[in-house]
Amino acid sequence: MTCLDTAAVTGKHLLFLGVESRTWSHQQFINVAQFARAHDVDSLLVKFAEGTIVWYDGIDGFRSIRDAIKQQGVGVIPYMYSYGDRFGGLDGELNLLAEYMQDNGVVCADMEIEWNGQVDWASRMNVRLQPIPGVFLVSTWGDPFIQNWGGVIRALNPCVNAYMPQQYTNFLASCWQQFAQSGAECLQPTVDLSQEFGPNDPIAIAQAAYNQGHTALSVWHYGSAVDNPSLLDAVFHAFPKGDTLMPQPPANPYEANEHIRQELDLCWNSTAHLFGGTPAPMNTGIHDSWVKAWLFHNYQFGPPITQEYTSTDSDGNPITVQECAHARCEWDKYGIPHWFTANGPVKF
């Protein structure tokens, strides 16, 4: 299925409903659908579960809401927040996603911090969902490399039809190429209408998303949209519904060039003898940062001489640390790597 095929199912202008919809009446959903149709929204993303806790008394209740919205000429995409296996509920979540995708032809999983670095969970999701007919969307971080999602994306790619990066700030919008560098083929970015997360120009982000060739755009969320409908209109105006195809950015050399990858891997693995013959793990955020430092900033920090270990920074905040032959990496509580050499902090 191509990006255009996926957009034909989802629509090109999408609007998320938030947690407030859990207690709405049918009439409230109808009112929201009428607002959506008046503002050129093709589909509403309606939350149906928090982990394995299902809303609206199950799928029959959701169907009733879905049908009421569709009668107003607006599509419906069910979505859930996924905790993965943090509480042992991954199999239950996957069963729900499969059920709602089979029933609606499309489903979305909101996957965030619990999934950081969880390649094994992603592999389980792929095995369960890939055979199921329908469109599977993943709403997640806008900065996957910082969030240790490179390996997660690669594991999910076979079953995901489109990723919905949360481009809630100008910085997050600049990270979109990281998805393609991890093998993702289709993006449907999500913009935020507030300044809650940092400097944010949603109109410019929407325009850039269109120019980059993405085939659909979503907005978080209804509450902000109804408070500022003119901004919602301007965002959608900046992302017209003409056919677009996402151009592939220059490939990450580590992913695209086997000789470069071999050179870096041989360096990283050269200290395997320090760890009983098993190299330090490579599917981590620190490793991704180490690779980027080498390829894009000309810093060669040397192979790891320790495994990752937990520590605290000078303010007592928890950090994850890995020592390399020529540098030290401190991964902070926000998922941001900080590198230090004998000469002090490294500024990329």
Model pLDDT for residues 228-285, shown as the tens digit of each residue: 999 999 999 999 987 655 444 456 788 778 899 999 999 999 999 999 999 999 988 8
Could you tell me if 147 and 175 are in contact, meaning their C-beta atoms sit under 8 angstroms apart?
no
Claim to verify: residue 206 and residue 128 sit in the same structural domain:
yes
Claim to verify: residue 75 and residue 202 sit in the same structural domain:
yes
Claim to verify: residue 264 and residue 200 sit in the same structural domain:
no
> For residue 130, is it within any domain?
yes
Claim to verify: residue 326 and residue 228 sit in the same structural domain:
no
Q: How far apart (Å, rounded) are the C-alpha atoms in residues 15 and 217?
A: 9
**Domain final position from 237, 262, 290:** 237
**CATH code for the domain in which residue 36 is found:** 3.20.20.220
Claim to verify: residue 18 and residue 63 sit in the same structural domain:
yes
The residue among 203, 208, 185 whose CA lies nearest residue 193 is 203
The phi, psi pair for 51, rounded to 5°, reads: 65, -130
> For residue 243, is it within any domain?
no
Could you tell me if 42 and 70 are in contact, meaning their C-beta atoms sit under 8 angstroms apart?
no
pLDDT in tens, the chain (348 residues): 889 999 999 999 999 999 999 999 999 999 999 999 999 999 999 999 999 999 999 999 999 999 999 999 999 999 999 999 999 999 999 999 999 999 999 999 999 999 999 999 999 999 999 999 999 999 999 999 999 999 999 999 999 999 999 999 999 999 999 999 899 999 999 999 999 999 999 999 999 999 999 999 999 999 999 999 999 999 999 999 876 554 444 567 887 788 999 999 999 999 999 999 999 999 888 998 899 889 888 899 999 999 999 999 888 889 999 999 999 999 887 667 899 999 999 876
Claim to verify: residue 264 and residue 226 sit in the same structural domain:
no
φ/ψ region of 69 (left if φ > 0, alpha if ψ in -120 to 50, else beta) reads alpha
> For residue 230, is it within any domain?
yes
Tokens standing for residue 186: 């289709």
Task: Please count the structural domains in the chain.
Answer: 2
> For residue 244, is it within any domain?
no
Residue position matching structure tokens 């620190």 = 286
> For residue 202, is it within any domain?
yes
Enclosing domain of residue 208? 3-237
Neighbours of 24 (CB within 10 A): 16
> For residue 245, is it within any domain?
no
Model pLDDT for residues 67-92, shown as the tens digit of each residue: 999 999 999 999 999 999 999 999 99
